[in-house]
Structures are given as structure tokens and as C-alpha cells.
Structure 1
Amino acid sequence: MNPSATILIVDDEEFLLEYVRVVLQRAGYSVLSAQNGGEAWNLIVDRQEIRLLLTDIVMPGSLDGIELARRVRQHQPELPVLLMTGAALNDYPFTNAPSWQRMMLRKPFHPDQLLTIVRENLEAASRFW
């Protein structure tokens, strides 16, 4: 895993964007941010250095976190995607599927929890980079 890997965080809540950005930057990661799915998609298409997408599920606009994750899976299947949600995970039945289990991060979360799941996903994807 590259400790300076570039991570794209997406959330419409500015406080959470800043919180996650600070935690990740202090751990040595480069961070890009977007406040909606459309901004994030443009960054993903234009920026090849992104190594992980961390996105909220519920966002305004036509491109929420679930649809953004689906697009990423089609466009760049090797890019790990982590989904954040403040809702109960059983609100999203697909999260029971094993392929989605490692992708979910329940809000609120502790910085150590965030860093662990980011590190695990980057390590798992490192064989592609």
C-alpha cells in the first residue's frame, strides 16, 4: 500500500468532508473532495491517480453514492469504493451481500475505524496498481 495514495471523499456535509480530509491527510494520504456525485464522477474520469473512493450514500442530485459506486465499478472496477451512511445498514438490503460487506462504513465512525477500513481496501486493491 502506498501511504500517500490519493483518496476521493464525497459528502454533501462540509463538516464531515473536513473531518475525513484531516484524518486521512494526517495519516499521509493525499485527498481530493467533492460535495456531490457529479463532481466526484468528473474527478474520477479526469484523475487517474485516485486509488480509493469514499462516498456518502445519500446525497442531493441525480447521482447518489450507490449510483456513483455502480458507475465506478463499470468504468474502473479495480478502484475500491467505500460507502458511508448514517442510516441503519438494513435500510440497504444489498449490503448483506458479501461483495458489499467490506465497502460499508457506518456514521459516526472513529478515526481509527476509518483508517483501518481505508488501509484494508487499499491493500486489497494494491495488486492492480
Structure 2
Amino acid sequence: MSDKRTVLVVEDEEMLLSAVSMEFEDAGYDVLCAGTAEQAYDLLRARPRVDLLFTDIRLPGQLDGWDLAERARALQPDLPVIYVTGYSNEQPRQVAESVLVMKPYRMSAIIDVARRLGVG
């Protein structure tokens, strides 16, 4: 069993998903990837524990990042969440103890946020 922290990265842009995943891996995290909130929710239900949810807000499918975080918190009430978005016209529906980051972002800033949330 790994003692690394596990991050679930949810991003529908494949290049961005790959880049973010590699950055988290380089920073010492285990990474799970999903392209939709539905895939991510299935992964969360199948795993005993995830240490951080990193999710885009706008995702294909029935659920968006806000919905995913709410459902994830129902499964794991203390799960830290980092939301990312390039759009700011919608009203945020952040869960408590979460951080919203606007695109474009620097991965070093994301890793810093993860560590501030106690995941590092």
C-alpha cells in the first residue's frame, strides 16, 4: 500500500488532464483521472479513500464540477476540493473548505493550494 496522497483529477480536455496529472505525479502524488463527473463519481464510490478532488467546473454529461464535489462530500465529508474554471459568469456553489482557481493557472500554484488544504 502506497503512503502517497491520492488526487482525483477531473478534466475533459485531454491535454490538460495529462499535463495536470503529470504535475501532480511529479510532486509525489498518486493520480486518478476522469474526463467526466460521472466517471469521477464512479471512481470515488469504488475506492476506499481519495485525498483530494481537483475538478474542472464545466464538464460534459449530466453533472458538473459543483455537482461532483457535493456528491463526493456525501461519500467523504472531509474531502478537500480544488475547483478550476475559465468561466466566471456562474454563481459559485463551492463546498466548505474548498478553493476556486481561475484558468489559466500555474501548476505550482495548484500544488501550493493542495498543500494549504493539508494534502501534501
TM-score by structure 1 length? 0.82
Q: Tell me the matched-pair count.
A: 119
Amino-acid identity (%): 36
- After superposing on structure 2, the runs of 4+ consecutive aligned residues of structure 1 that deviate more than 3 Å are 97-100
How many angstroms apart in 2 are the aligned matches of 1:29 and 1:42?
A: 20
Question: Which ranges in structure 1 are unaligned for 5 or more consecutive residues?
Answer: none
**What does the per-residue CA deviation read over 1:7-32, in whole Å, with 9 as the maximum and x for residues that have no partner?**
00001100110111111111110000
Superposed CA RMSD:
2.3
How many angstroms apart in 1 are the aligned matches of 2:59 and 2:115?
A: 25
How many angstroms apart in 2 are the aligned matches of 1:74 and 1:105?
A: 23
SS of structure 1 residue aligned to 2:92 = helix
Which has the larger share of helix?
A: 1
Corresponding position of 1:115:
111
TM-score by structure 2 length? 0.88
Corresponding position of 2:59:
59
Corresponding position of 1:92:
90
Corresponding position of 1:32:
32
Question: Which ranges in structure 2 are unaligned for 5 or more consecutive residues?
Answer: none
1:21 aligns with 2:17: no
